[in-house]
Structure 1
Amino acid sequence: MIRMLLRVLGHEYAQPIRRTVALMTTTAIAEGLSYALLVPVLRALFGSTPGDAWPSLIAFGAVVAVYAALRYYSDLSGFRVGIALLRGMYQRLGGHLARLPIGWYSARRVGEVSVLASEGVLQAMSVIAHLLAPFISACVTPLTIVAVMLAFNWQMGVAALVAAPVVAAIQIWTGRSMAAADVERAERGQEATGRVIEYLQAQPVLRAGGRTVERFRLLDDSLREVQRASRRSILSALSGAVGLTLVVQTMFTVLLVLGAYLALGGSIGAAEVLAILVLAARCADPLLSLSDIGGKVRNARAELARLDTVLRTEPLPEAAEPIQPVGHGLEFESVTFKHGDRTVFDDVSLSVPEGQRLAVVGPSGAGKSTLLQLLARFYDVDAGAVRVGGVDVRAINTEVLMEQIAIVFQEVYLFDGTIEENVRLGRPDADEADVRAAATAARLDEVIERLPGGWATNVGEGGALLSGGERQRVSIARALLKNAPIVLLDEVTSALDPVNEAAVHEGIERLMAGRTVVMVAHRLRTVQRADHIVFLDGGRIVEEGSHEELLRRSGRYAEFWNMSLTPAASE
């Protein structure tokens, strides 16, 4: 467990963890030794001179005081190290997730990461703060007490010692029998989390279909599977808990019988028998707690293993010797890219000279948005090369690449904060004048003027408190503030009303001025002013040229253009 923890977090945490484990072990030994002084105390109290118990009582009090101090410092150390580990795990997990390719985030993995980033991390990191001290105490304190019993009477000590391998065997057997049940329960829990997310996202569709009262079958099925898996896990743990209880009770009964036999034979005094039975009773509590603590430790270990699996997922590789791009031209050279079993691009080549605008059109599923994602290196190509400024994006440092590119997506995500904070994400160190100028250019100032809070208005999680057009204006202002030489636009006006569409178009025109632009659009009127247009279909470029050239050819682009004019003509 500790080795896996260090592998996941890094060996810089090895020293404080080892120091905490040593302190907790010393505390557990001190606890066991303190009970050893009960033997001379009880012997004196039940002897002919009870007053002789005072020295042993004083010694017992002193040892208990030492134990209390050790326990305080070991618990404090556990909490401090646990907090440090928790902070380190969140930092490492967050940094790693930010470097994983976008294609890794399937719907299933989003649910898995949601569980891991909340419940999973807390459960795994709670080992040091909450579980390690009780676990060490449950293992070490009884062994120390058995050693004390051996020192006072070897027969009863050996009888108690025989239980140790039996307890260990039960723990090992219980852990192995529960391993499969724990894995199944975790998988069912992650699946259920994904179904809950799906259910929440599907609310507009369900309500539009009049199914607001009807139960969601997929979610119900997954929750029933969680219930079945939890029941199997509990049944697996129950046999181990019952077995452990029987062993502890049997051990105590054997010691009682053996003590009575030795006392009647005169081999040991009644006071010693009573003291050893008190010690044996003190062994019972931590041993019985092993079942519960062991289960929690196994669960934490399972979460840690899942975290380890995520952290072992290889991010997109960084170049050992990054190359600085020269210029801002873009190029696809014989690019082949597969998404799962589906070939999205098959030997695609195109180029966008610096300062020019490329429009990408085509039917849904043709790979238009994927083309933008490859330029931003959200994925790596399977064959060929994607170049920015004449350099393969795989040879450019990720931070340098992102500095060159501003992206405006169709679905804008805003962070739960103020409008100004979301705009400043484009360039956090920008001065106030630049922020205000970007807002004016994006016509975001019109939105800010009518909001009661102005710049300090909170946008809500995901920008839920703003309309779609308002979110797009924030996104364009953010891109303008970034002032990147390359702009990628993905269907930015496809779902806007005419007023917001006009405002967004004005902001987009200012954003594109003097920059290298690649735009994806369904509304073909937005691409007329592009320097070059490519029509994607079936993983290939089937047509390319200027707007006028493509119309003269009367091919696929012209067909799409005529279809886009039909609704307007009918109106």
Structure 2
Amino acid sequence: MSMLRNITADNPRSLIKPVFFTTIANLVGLIPFVLLVEAVRLIFHPFIDPDTSLDTIQLWWVCGGLAVSIILLYVFEVPAYRAQFRDAYSAGVDGRSRLAEHLRKLPLGYLDKREPGEVAKMMTDDFTLLEHGISHVVPQIFGAAIMAVIAMTGLAFFDWRLALSLFAALPAAILLFLLTSSIQRKLGSQHMRSKNEAANRLQEYLNGIQVIKAYNLTGERFVRLERSFRELKRQSILLEGLLGPIVLSAIACVRAGLTMMVFVGVHLLLDGNLDVITFAAFLIIGTRIHDPLSTALAGYMQFRYLNQTGERVMQFLREPVMPGNQQPSSDHDIELKNVSFGYSDQPILSEVSVRIPAGSFTAFVGPSGSGKSTLLRLIARFYDPDKGTVRMGGEDLRAMDPEALLHKVSMVFQDVYLFQDTIAGNIRLGRIDATCEEIEEAARLACCHEFIQKYPDGYDTMLGEGGSTLSGGEKQRISIARAILKNAPIILLDEATASLDPENEAEVQKAIDRLVRGRTVIVVAHRLKTVQHADRIVVLDQGRIVEQGRHDELLSVNGVYARLWRRQETS
């Protein structure tokens, strides 16, 4: 049962209709062969009993039954086909959606530990394999197994000796698969690792194509990608080359049953213990039964491989989401108390304690790598601290529903990502039910209405992936419009103007000034001039708070902040 849960991404009910209709279709497929046996009996009966004549009327009825059976085959194959493919692709859609939803609820730290192409490959390639398993492999295996049991039971009523000999070699095929299961699993795991590595290296290659071109790392010089492709080729040949003979041997064992049945049947026939009609019936029906059995045995290897694919998906779905179901407080005071945090084994923050009153303007400044952006991510609960607590309104963020908490927070990042959608669609992410008028008003406040109107399609202009068709300043202003539309009481700004030219910086700063009015604002700033009027400036160095106060107070202390200020003034 666990294997079926893996293959269906924890939705084994999706197999009920495909297996049922496939089994019915397989059984209906036996009808022409049964009628053919009856036709043979009618034709040969006058030769066995010379006193009787050929029953042509009955033979015509059999021929009519064969014609009807063709229609029946079509009638039952259509729902089987629909059940297999419709349910398989529906399960794929549901599984991918569930995977994406689960991914959204995981802490960012989980994704930081994964290779860039791993999750994308899981959503596309792995679910394509599982769709194939639901539509083809599992229904074929179950349909063949059920049909074999029914056929053996039915044939045993005619002659148990022939029925037994027909399936006598099947246990040998099953035993062969059981004895080689560890080899199958090992080869499957190695092949999956090589596929993942190739996908990751390809994603890395695409992400870094500008660097690759700039440093001429193409062709033979960029060997990691080529090496991963060659390893995938080697593992694919190994998988097919070693498992192929096992499958063929198992199929040979099954088909040997037909040979054994012929041998036993001839022996019984010569001894006078079997009539020709029964023997002919077993010859005709036996060949029909062995075809789906052979297909099922060939699919069993795929079944084991798909099980390993499903295990990866299920392992991902079992990753614990960020806990919490409490609604955030209406009090937006934020307090970090003895907070320590690190990425993997690298410590970033150590024993950080600071209180941010509601409605205040607080800036985090300090040298690069001092943990400023990490603090913002902890406040937004992208991560939970390793030690200490982050509180809002006196309540620990870890007890709060992460999604409800994010309704309270708007973030503007230094590196803005815009989706491949219209400009209006990207702004509407701030509030999905926003009207066109509200979107335009947010754009005006963010100082981006004028440049949007210059495009022929205005707000309906399609953007390239990541907003590649816009300048850095234009992307930043659309991001601010999005935050204005969200109208959250807490604003987090992560060096929003650090990489802009003076003209764009002035426009973005004007938009930010409108965004932050009447809200709790927390800013990470590289340019100290942009935060010199903050209510409190918190200075970090090497993951610790070393100074905090207003601009004039920090200059008079003549510490880290004063040193950074003088350095920027003279540069």
Q: Does 1:298 align with 2:304?
A: yes
* Alignment deviations for residues 174-228 of structure 1 (CA, whole Å, 9 cap, x no partner): 5442111111211221122111111112222222223344442222222222222
Q: Does 1:117 align with 2:123?
A: yes
Change (3 A) 1:113 1:215: same
* Alignment deviations for residues 5-56 of structure 1 (CA, whole Å, 9 cap, x no partner): 3897667x73x64355344334434434653343332122233244353444
CA distance in 1, matches of 2:113, 2:341: 21
CA distance in 2, matches of 1:256, 1:312: 52
* Alignment deviations for residues 529-562 of structure 1 (CA, whole Å, 9 cap, x no partner): 2221112122211122222222222222222222
Q: Does 1:142 align with 2:148?
A: yes
Q: Is the 8 A contact 1:174 1:236 kept in 2?
A: no
Please list, as runs of the form range in 1=range in 2, the aligned pairs for 1:67-82 lying within 5 A after superposition: 67-82=73-88
Change (3 A) 1:63 1:174: farther
Please list, as runs of the form range in 1=range in 2, the aligned pairs for 1:16-415 lying within 5 A after superposition: 17-18=15-16, 20-32=18-30, 35-48=33-46, 49-50=53-54, 51=56, 52-59=58-65, 65-106=71-112, 108-319=114-325, 322-415=326-419
Q: Is the 8 A contact 2:185 2:305 kept in 1?
A: no
CA distance in 2, matches of 1:113, 1:6: 17
Q: Is the 8 A contact 2:536 2:549 kept in 1?
A: yes
SS of 1:385 mapped into structure 2: strand
Q: Is the 8 A contact 2:251 2:298 kept in 1?
A: no
Q: Is the 8 A contact 1:33 1:145 kept in 2?
A: no
CA distance in 2, matches of 1:227, 1:108: 23
CA distance in 2, matches of 1:203, 1:77: 43
**Structure 1 match to 2:5:** 5
What is the CA distance between 1:382 and its match in structure 2?
A: 2.0
CA distance in 1, matches of 2:566, 2:220: 43
Q: Is the 8 A contact 2:363 2:522 kept in 1?
A: yes
Q: Is the 8 A contact 1:32 1:141 kept in 2?
A: no
CA distance in 1, matches of 2:459, 2:77: 52
Q: Does 1:480 align with 2:478?
A: no
Q: Is the 8 A contact 2:409 2:490 kept in 1?
A: yes
**Structure 2 match to 1:528:** 532
Change (3 A) 1:430 1:73: closer
Q: Which moved more, 1:51-60 or 1:259-268?
A: 51-60
Number of positions where the alignment pairs a residue of Structure 1 with one of Structure 2: 563
Change (3 A) 1:215 1:387: same
SS of 1:44 mapped into structure 2: helix
Q: Which moved more, 1:421-430 or 1:523-532?
A: 523-532
**Structure 2 match to 1:556:** 560
CA distance in 2, matches of 1:537, 1:31: 77
Q: Which moved more, 1:269-278 or 1:202-211?
A: 269-278
Aligned amino acid, residue 316 of structure 1:
M
CA distance in 1, matches of 2:153, 2:74: 21
Change (3 A) 1:207 1:423: same
What is the CA distance between 1:375 and its match in structure 2?
A: 0.4
CA distance in 1, matches of 2:532, 2:151: 86
Please list, as runs of the form range in 1=range in 2, the aligned pairs for 1:485-504 lying within 5 A after superposition: 485-504=489-508
CA distance in 2, matches of 1:265, 1:195: 69
Q: Is the 8 A contact 1:8 1:308 kept in 2?
A: no
TM-score by length of 2: 0.92
Q: Is the 8 A contact 2:162 2:264 kept in 1?
A: yes
Aligned amino acid, residue 352 of structure 2:
V
Change (3 A) 1:8 1:360: farther
Change (3 A) 1:256 1:3: closer
* Alignment deviations for residues 323-352 of structure 1 (CA, whole Å, 9 cap, x no partner): 441322221111122321122222110111
* Alignment deviations for residues 498-527 of structure 1 (CA, whole Å, 9 cap, x no partner): 221121111111112222111112222222
Change (3 A) 1:60 1:177: farther
Q: Which moved more, 1:411-420 or 1:509-518?
A: 509-518
Q: Is the 8 A contact 1:33 1:148 kept in 2?
A: no
CA distance in 2, matches of 1:504, 1:186: 47
Aligned amino acid, residue 279 of structure 1:
I
Q: Is the 8 A contact 2:329 2:393 kept in 1?
A: yes
Aligned amino acid, residue 197 of structure 1:
Q
* Alignment deviations for residues 236-263 of structure 1 (CA, whole Å, 9 cap, x no partner): 3112122123213432322333333333
Q: Is the 8 A contact 2:328 2:392 kept in 1?
A: no
Q: Is the 8 A contact 1:491 1:520 kept in 2?
A: yes
Q: Is the 8 A contact 2:191 2:232 kept in 1?
A: yes
**Structure 1 match to 2:50:** none
Q: Is the 8 A contact 1:124 1:304 kept in 2?
A: yes
Q: Which moved more, 1:131-140 or 1:486-495?
A: 131-140
SS of 2:279 mapped into structure 1: helix
Gapped regions of structure 2 (runs ≥ 5): 47-52
SS of 1:244 mapped into structure 2: helix
CA distance in 1, matches of 2:318, 2:39: 57
Q: Is the 8 A contact 1:252 1:281 kept in 2?
A: yes
Q: Which stretches of structure 1, 4 residues or more, deviate above 6 A after TM superposition?
A: none
CA distance in 2, matches of 1:285, 1:161: 13
CA distance in 2, matches of 1:300, 1:417: 35
* Alignment deviations for residues 257-316 of structure 1 (CA, whole Å, 9 cap, x no partner): 333333333333444433322222223322222243223322322222111111100011
SS of 2:521 mapped into structure 1: strand
Change (3 A) 1:536 1:107: same
Q: Is the 8 A contact 2:333 2:355 kept in 1?
A: yes
CA distance in 1, matches of 2:310, 2:86: 19
CA distance in 2, matches of 1:295, 1:7: 13
CA distance in 1, matches of 2:242, 2:480: 56
Aligned amino acid, residue 145 of structure 2:
C
Change (3 A) 1:344 1:429: same
SS of 2:189 mapped into structure 1: helix
Q: Which moved more, 1:378-387 or 1:396-405?
A: 396-405
Q: Is the 8 A contact 1:35 1:145 kept in 2?
A: no
Q: Is the 8 A contact 1:111 1:197 kept in 2?
A: yes
CA distance in 2, matches of 1:287, 1:19: 20
CA distance in 1, matches of 2:313, 2:89: 17
Gapped regions of structure 1 (runs ≥ 5): none
CA distance in 1, matches of 2:68, 2:245: 41
Change (3 A) 1:468 1:544: same
